[in-house]
Amino acid sequence: MAHLSLKQLSKVFPDGTHAVDQITLEVPDGELLALVGPSGCGKTTLLRLIAGLESPTAGDIELGPRSLQGVLPRDRNVAMVFQGHALYPHLTVFGNLAFPLRLRKSPKPEIDHRVRQAAAMLGIERLLHRKPRQLSGGEQQRVALGRAVVRHPACFLMDEPLSNLDARLRDETRTEIKALHQRLDATIVYVTHDQQEAMTLGDRVAVMRDGRILQVAPPREIYRHPIDAFVAGFLGAPPMNFLHGQIRADAGQLYFEHSGRRLAVPAWAAATLAARVGQDVVLGIRPESLSIAPTGTPPANRLDITVDLIEFVGAALHAYGSTNGDTIVARLDPAATVAIGQHHALEVDLDRAHFFAPPPRGSKQPGANLCPTHNPPPLARSRL
Ligand code: ADP
Ligand code: MG
């Protein structure tokens, strides 16, 4: 296994598309880096650059001690697992697993040993004599993974390998990949558009948008300290709520004012927001930071919503509603009594709120997190 290093890597396609835009990224030896971003942001192009299937317009890639510049794909010692894993239909599972080794003219006993080792690791030994059409979707995906494993590559590149599986198999195979990563101690770049998959699998998560990496951090850190409103809104389901308002000062207290209603600015944000009195700010509230307000909750800690949709998801109840024209979703206790068409007062856990700069005028860039390092105190037992 090896350390992967991308230096100022860019890919501009002949039609002018900047698919990858000056990406600098270090993936330490043995790390599973989950690369996540919306469709079209450049994830596949980035993997293809690493694999050598595209050549960069600028920048360099190093794997271990050497630069990959001018190195042919088959000499790069990386293994790519694609979405929609194409197995050879006429070969058995053994034949499929052995294929990359036969191509390399490895000695027969070594092929045999490596195939059996990979099959054992993935729990597919009993399938070795079968043809792909005699396998379930999940088994086929495991064979596709096995074909990468037998090569003992320095780095695995996985491009949405679970996207063709149904929800349940996806969960199982995801666990499988996590276990495989631990057993192999492998360097893996794992691409997905699914934020939940990225958060559960990644040692670190890299969020990509428009060919750039916005932030790279361990899952908990990136969830708690998103660098901007895009990262904040992309990670988490249901997504973070955003309210557009202004900062007001009144009798020594700062408020976030939103359509005439005020929420108290917590002490930890006061120093930063004091400089923005009278200015536009975006308040971000995660659905789990809202709960049914106990009687007597002061208005400055409350959002009053009219519920128009309820989603029961077992461990929680998602209540969608509107407040002064903005849509809000709250992740509530599954036992909460809420009803469609009713007004409900929600208490806002302002310690877990986020404040963002408004998007720069005329730009589609998201606003920066104004208090990116704030650490909220641990949750009270009653809020878990
Ligand atoms: P993702 O995998 O994140 O969905 P891709 O890497 O496939 O994104 O594509 C990134 C951008 O580059 C998209 O705008 C896509 O249309 C464009 N693109 C990809 N391949 C080519 C190509 N061969 N020629 C021109 N544009 C391309
Ligand atoms: Mg893709």
Give the pLDDT confidence score for residue 122 in this predicted structure: 86
Cα–Cα–Cα angle for 279, 282, 283, nearest 5°? 120
Give the pLDDT confidence score for residue 84 in this predicted structure: 66
Give the total residue count for the chain. Answer: 384
Whether ligand 1 lies within 6 angstroms of the CB of 88 is answered as no
Backbone angles phi, psi at 315, to 5 degrees: -75, -10
Give the pLDDT confidence score for residue 172 in this predicted structure: 83
Give the pLDDT confidence score for residue 176 in this predicted structure: 84
Residue 153 Cα, ligand 1 centroid: separation in angstroms?
Answer: 26
Give the pLDDT confidence score for residue 123 in this predicted structure: 87
Residue 96 Cα, ligand 1 centroid: separation in angstroms?
Answer: 29
Chain centroid offset of residue 248 CA: 35
Residue 380 Cα, ligand 2 centroid: separation in angstroms?
Answer: 41
**3-state DSSP assignment of residue 281:** strand
Pairing relationship of beta strands 58-63 and 4-12 according to DSSP bridges: antiparallel
Whether ligand 1 lies within 6 angstroms of the CB of 5 is answered as no
Whether ligand 1 lies within 6 angstroms of the CB of 13 is answered as yes
Cα–Cα–Cα angle for 221, 281, 373, nearest 5°? 25
Closest residue by CA, ligand 1 atom 5: 42
Q: Which residues of the chain have pLDDT under 70?
A: 84-85, 380-384
Whether ligand 1 lies within 6 angstroms of the CB of 15 is answered as yes
Spatial separation of the C-alpha atoms in residues 123 and 127, rounded to whole Å: 9
CB within 8 A of 314, min separation 6: which ones?
334
Angle between helices 108-122 and 137-149 (to 10 degrees): 130
Alpha-carbon radius of gyration of the chain: 25
Give the pLDDT confidence score for residue 121 in this predicted structure: 86
Give the pLDDT confidence score for residue 381 in this predicted structure: 58
Spatial separation of the C-alpha atoms in residues 240 and 193, rounded to whole Å: 17
CA dihedral of 50, 52, 58, 61, whole degrees rounded to 10: 40
Residue 90, judged by CB atoms within 10 A of its CB (0-12, 13-18, 19+), counts as exposed
Residue 292 Cα, ligand 1 centroid: separation in angstroms?
Answer: 44
Nearest atom of ligand 1 to the alpha carbon of 11: 12
Report long-range pairs for 200-203 (Cβ below 8 Å, ≥24 apart).
Answer: 200/174, 201/32, 201/34, 201/174, 201/177, 202/32, 202/33, 202/34, 203/31, 203/32, 203/33
Amino acid at the residue 367: G
Q: Which helix (H) or strand (E) holds 140?
A: helix 137-149
Give the pLDDT confidence score for residue 85 in this predicted structure: 66
Contact 203, 32 (CB under 8 A): yes
